[in-house]
Structure 1
Amino acid sequence: MELNLEIVTTPVRPAATVVMLRDAPAGLEVFLMKRHSLSDVLGGAYVFPGGKVDALDDELDMAAHLDQPLQVLHAGLNEADISERTAGGLYVAALREAFEESGVLFAQGAGSPDIDAARAAALLREGHGFNAVLAQMGLRLQTRSIVPWSRWITPTAPSVTNKRFDTRFFVSVVPAGQVAIHDDHETTESIWLEPRTALQQYWDGQIALAPPQIMSLAHLSHHASVQSVLMQARSRLPPVIQPEPFDQDGGRVICYPGDARHSVREPVMPGPTRLYYRNKRFEPLGGFDSLFA
């Protein structure tokens, strides 16, 4: 992964992503998708389903198509500086991106828990917008199915992209009867992996990961089950993570909350408090095992 050396002064773009989880015989697994190599954001890297908030996300008839009141969603995000409708739009963006990129639709039909995700996907391919699909099929999005996990804000000196994002990470389990798969458009491959296995493959050069994914996987490696992750997510408000990079000896160092050089001295997640850019990858000072400290 190439290091970005540009300073970005444009405003941050609101975004949302869904970390999909499942319990497997060997333990907790995470769904990862490989972004198209020609993508201008993290091309070729493995990511969680997600993307930018669209203007139409705020325009959804939320009273008709969300399963929780906006004030509840707003409180869960713990962002006093945004409106309740903006908070609802972030949930809509997360659920829309999850559907568009992985085919997983967190929704219920009117009076029935069953939905026809294949029909919804077909309508989307025909050019119907996400809001129109929900209205046409009478669907209510299940915001209860995704739980705020963390909030990542790209610094003005991004290390792997020339854009800045304010991304809300949600955690979830894939609804019964649905299968997550890449869309063969924005993403070209997908896989379920244990968090430690994903990091091992990254370490071995088999897959590419950006720092937020590295740190999130290191965090998730401390959990043995989906229930453990969801319990932690529901027990605390999502932490804000603002990486603070600096250059040292001709290389890039990224500091996270809890590091001696970070403006926030209290750690907000397990794992290393620094990543160093070496050999075209980001790694902690103490080697692979220190990812799981």
Structure 2
Amino acid sequence: MVQLPEDRVLPTGFVSDELPTQPAAPKDAATVMLLREGAAGPEVFLQRRVKGMAFAGGMTVFPGGGVDQRDADASVAWTGPDADWWADRFGCTPDVARALVCAAVRETFEESGVLLAGPDPTAVVGDTSHYAGARAALVSREMSLAKFLADEGLVLRADLLRPWANWVTPEREPRRYDTRFFLAAMPAGQRADAVTSEASEAYWSTPQQALADFEAGRCHLLPPTRVTLGELAECGSLPAALAVERTLGKVMPKLVRRNDRWYAVLPGEPGFEEAK
């Protein structure tokens, strides 16, 4: 019998025991790992999602969320790699790529107050607290990212983002996401906060400490988050992480049930081909 990894056990109740008759179509989503230099090395911004949420309730995650159809608005003022460049990295159409980059910027601002935009292609905004009203309007979907940036005379800084990974939710889960992971350095003069209804707490941590907290049961991590933290831990410094060139492919774990617990198995690991 294949030995399943104990660090891939999913929380009780996270996966339904009933196999869906047909897998749900995954929704495009974006998540951003914000990094800053700390006294003990690079730190990443993490949030613990509110328990009881429909997806990943109680999990510790990076800021992010699903793509809004308005994120594909071609009128968004943009500087940095264009949609074709991002489409090539993520293996999607330029329209989807544009929406993913815009969703990454929008969700990061909504969930942490960090805004990857500036008044011109070479600058980044400082204190974002005076955009609090617009931030709330973005969260409620009363305002689109394109309108917010246009009203404030801001340019989206796609050059501040780096493509990192592409994870797809396993087929047997009812809510599925095709999530592109981005990396970004924390802009100078800004601060990340916990002013979001989706998180019960937010904090900075070295990837190593976050993994130690997971091993000790002080937090819960889904496989994509855990694997990504391990990858970030290997970088050693913020410049090294930003300089990484990654070849991306879709990673979709499979789930194995054993001894009344669900395990996530990754492509290439023992037992993956036999898993459901």
**Bin of the TM-score, shorter chain as denominator length:** 0.7 to 0.9
Query: Quick check: 2:67–2:103 contact (8 Å CA) kept in 1?
Result: yes
Cα displacement (A) at 1:112: 6.7
Query: Quick check: 1:120–1:133 contact (8 Å CA) kept in 2?
Result: no
The structure 1 residue matched to 2:110, chosen from 94, 100, 122, is 100
SS in 1 for 2:203: strand
> Partner of 1:271 in structure 2?
none
Query: Quick check: 1:154–1:164 contact (8 Å CA) kept in 2?
Result: yes
Alignment map for 1:159-238 (pairs within 5 Å):
162-232=174-244, 235-238=245-248
Q: Which whole-Å CA distance do the structure 2 matches of 1:113 and 1:89 have between them? A: 22
Show CA shifts across 1:38-87 (max 9, x none): 3211112211000000111012414x33443222222232x0xx321211
Q: Which whole-Å CA distance do the structure 2 matches of 1:163 and 1:183 have between them? A: 25
The structure whose RCO (Cα within 8 Å, separation 6+) is larger is 2
Query: Quick check: 2:171–2:254 contact (8 Å CA) kept in 1?
Result: no
Q: 1:37 to 1:246 in 2, by over 3 A?
A: closer
Q: Which whole-Å CA distance do the structure 1 matches of 2:203 and 2:157 have between them? A: 24
> Partner of 1:35 in structure 2?
49
Cα displacement (A) at 1:111: 7.0
Q: Which whole-Å CA distance do the structure 2 matches of 1:90 and 1:58 have between them? A: 8
Show CA shifts across 1:172-208 (max 9, x none): 1111111111223111211111112112112222222
SS in 2 for 1:149: strand
Q: Which whole-Å CA distance do the structure 2 matches of 1:90 and 1:156 have between them? A: 22
Q: 1:68 to 1:219 in 2, by over 3 A?
A: closer
> Partner of 1:54 in structure 2?
68
Which residue identity lines up with residue 26 of structure 1 in the other structure? A
Q: Give the aligned CA root-mean-square deviation in angstroms.
A: 2.1
SS in 1 for 2:188: coil
Q: Which whole-Å CA distance do the structure 2 matches of 1:229 and 1:249 have between them? A: 39
Q: Which whole-Å CA distance do the structure 1 matches of 2:216 and 2:247 have between them? A: 34
* Unmatched tracts of structure 1, length 5 or more: 264-273, 275-293
Q: Which whole-Å CA distance do the structure 2 matches of 1:236 and 1:215 have between them? A: 14
SS in 1 for 2:55: coil
SS in 1 for 2:191: coil
Query: Quick check: 1:152–1:166 contact (8 Å CA) kept in 2?
Result: yes
The structure 1 residue matched to 2:149, chosen from 112, 116, 134, is 134
Show CA shifts across 1:105-144 (max 9, x none): 0001147725362233322325433221111011111111
TM-score, structure 1 normalization: 0.80
SS in 1 for 2:37: strand
> Partner of 1:125 in structure 2?
136
> Partner of 1:72 in structure 2?
85
